[in-house]
Amino acid sequence: MVLDLLTDILIVFAIALGVGMVFNKIKVPPLVAFILTGVIVGPYGLSVIGGQEVANLAEIGIILLLFTIGLEFSFKDLWKIRLIAVAGGALQVGLSFVFFCGLAFLLGRPMNEAILMGFLFSLSSTAIVLKILHQNGEMDSPHGSIALGILIFQDLVAIPMMMVVPFLASLPLFDPTPFLPGDALLLLLTQDLLIILVLIAAAKWIIPRVMYEIARTRNQELFLLVVILTCFGVALLVSYTGISIAIGALLAGLIISGSEYSHQAASIVLPFRDIFTSFFFISVGMLVDVRFLIDNIGFVLFLIILAIVAKAVLATVAPLALGYPLRTAAMSGLALAQVGEFSFILAQSGYTVGILQFSAYQTFLIVALITMAATPFVMGICQPLAGKLCRVPALSRFAKGTCGIETENAPGTRGDHLVIIGYGVTGRNLARTARQAGIEYTIIELNPDLVTEARKNGGLVIFGDATGEGVLRHAGIRDARIAVIAINDPVATRKITSLCRNLNAALSVIVRTRYVSEVEALHALGADEVVAEEFETSVEIFTVVLNKFFVPHDQIGKFITDVRANGYRMLRSRSAPGGTLPDLVRNIPNITITAFTVAPGSALAGQTLGRFNLRKRYNILVLAIRRGEEMLTGPGSESSLEAGDIAIVYGTPEDITNAVDLFAGPEGS
């Protein structure tokens, strides 16, 4: 018996490995590979293994999957995105439920089955969507945040859905008023209330105390045992009330999630979860009848296209209704255009209690599997498709101008100003600094909440999508001196960089990006300076380390200059210098133009440039001198520097670092 089980597991893993490697090359998630493995080895495929052993292992996978989801859930994270999570999630789930429930009922399905279909198709795949967003570096992008918020709401709302499934089985088949009988409803509410009270008491007094005592032993084996005991113990306790054991596991995870031991518990359970969860999706695949697919290929393909299109459109409406731009809403909608993991659990429960018949269950499994497999390709067309939608006049009008421009005040005529694209942490700090320095600036932002915040702080704010040329023109990009791109969407960042360069060849384009690997591509698109958070974090870390070792500040400053000059120079691959001054400056990576204030008491105060001979002694060239409101360009040897003057100088980073003390007064030396 044990030998047979080990043989089955070996066969399953071998086939899953081969299918997974093939799918990995075409960017299809491994979850889909597990389902296809089940199709191959199952009774409707090659029939090489028995189904009961895999089903038993799959039950453990479901329990551990929901337990870790509960462990990783954070009410603090939910609060940060509460608007889109609660309002947007409720709207998306509600619209999807009404559409698919109504469609099933119109197709003649029983009311309880129609309700279940509404549940199944209102959920999306958290695992697949978040993995693709993470791989693309889009987790913090506007559409990534929207998708995350809605997915969190879906995971939460799946709990009451799973609780309702057993009661749906008792509904009259075609009763148009699908309400629970009074006694059953009262019993359900009483059970739920008792469970909540017991779990609150356990979460507040019992579990933290037990976990604390076990943690004091510093014994990892005992800690693992108490985590597993909590998971399966709470799941079993909850199951006695008639509620699914999977829901009990989720509640067990929520109990521990509020404690300080949640991260350690999650790290222990995670490897077991991944192994057993794979068996769940393999068991799902084993239920897929390939012959049924062949016999009903036309109808199934119609349902697949309908499901993807309908879910994408309905998921787009939710953020659009909350005031997000059409492009952002469409990208988040396309990301959610598939069926989720919880839907398989719901469908399995519905099939077990008799709500779903064989044909309906088969149809759902096939449609769900293919929508999940198509997710990487659907998300891959997000950017170009969203851009095309924004160019459709009818859609722009329907979206109330969110593809276009909205300003609180007319921009008027301005030039030589700063354009800030993105009002996150970088944008806010930059705007505040520009305001204090008296620099005119324009902000472009497409998050309605951030637009409101920016307007409260003053300054010209444009509500629009900077990937649209019209928005950049409206911000005066043709006459601006500098554009700073500080958004979290890497694809949009590249497009905006290219647009800025095409619209204004003399513009200084400064881009903030997350990873060093993106620097070269952004320079190729026309960025003058690219600040990589990954690189700058390393600079900050070694600065702190050197300070702790009491290395002098001037030496640390030189180290920073050398690292930045050499590091960024290695990342840049520039062509031959062009014909304009901006092109020339951009194509000399080891040259810096900066400004120094001549401090009172500095060695330069009261001296002429010719007498001090900065160019020969310090290898720097003074390009201009600003004295009050007057700007002296092209100063000669007879030009003097006075205290309070701002000298604009040109030189290598190393030479400019060496000249810092020259411009500073006695206190700054």
Determine whether domain 405-581 maps to CATH 3.40.50.720: yes
Q: Can you give 434-488 as a three-state secondary structure string?
A: HHHHCCCEEEEECCHHHHHHHHHCCCEEEEECCCCHHHHHHCCCCCCCEEEECCC
In this structure, what DSSP letter does residue 171 have?
A: S
* Secondary-structure percent of the chain, ordered helix, strand, coil, rounded to 5: 65, 10, 25
Distance CA 572, CA 564 (A): 12
Sequence-separated (6 or more) residues with CB below 8 Å from residue 504: 477, 478, 479, 480, 483
Helices marked H in 296-357 — which ranges?
297-321, 326-335, 341-352
pLDDT < 70 stretches in the chain: 1-2, 5, 50-58, 72-81, 171-189, 191-192, 195-196, 199, 203, 241-244, 258, 387, 390-414, 565-591, 666-669
At the fourth CATH level, the homologous superfamily of domain 591-663 is Regulator of K+ conductance, C-terminal domain (3.30.70.1450)
Residue with tokens 């509404």: 118
Q: 208: number of CA atoms within 13 Å, CB side? A: 11
Q: What are the extents of the domains in the chain?
A: 2-385, 405-581, 591-663
**Separation of first and last alpha carbons in the chain:** 82
Q: Which CATH architecture has domain 2-385?
A: Up-down Bundle (1.20)
Contact 492, 141 (CB under 8 A): yes
Position 558, amino acid: K
Q: 659: number of CA atoms within 13 Å, CB side? A: 29
pLDDT at 71: 75
pLDDT at 117: 94
pLDDT at 421: 93
- For 64, phi then psi, to 5°, come to -70, -35
Gyration radius of the chain's alpha carbons: 31
- For the whole model, what pTM was predicted? 0.66
| Burial readout 626-665 (b: 16 or more C-beta within 10 A, e: otherwise) | beeeeeeeebeeeebbeeebbbbbbbbbebbbbbeebbbb
pLDDT at 398: 57
List the strands of the sheet with 418-421, edge to edge.
Answer: 405-407, 460-464, 441-445, 418-421, 482-485, 508-513, 529-532
Distance CA 141, CA 490 (A): 8
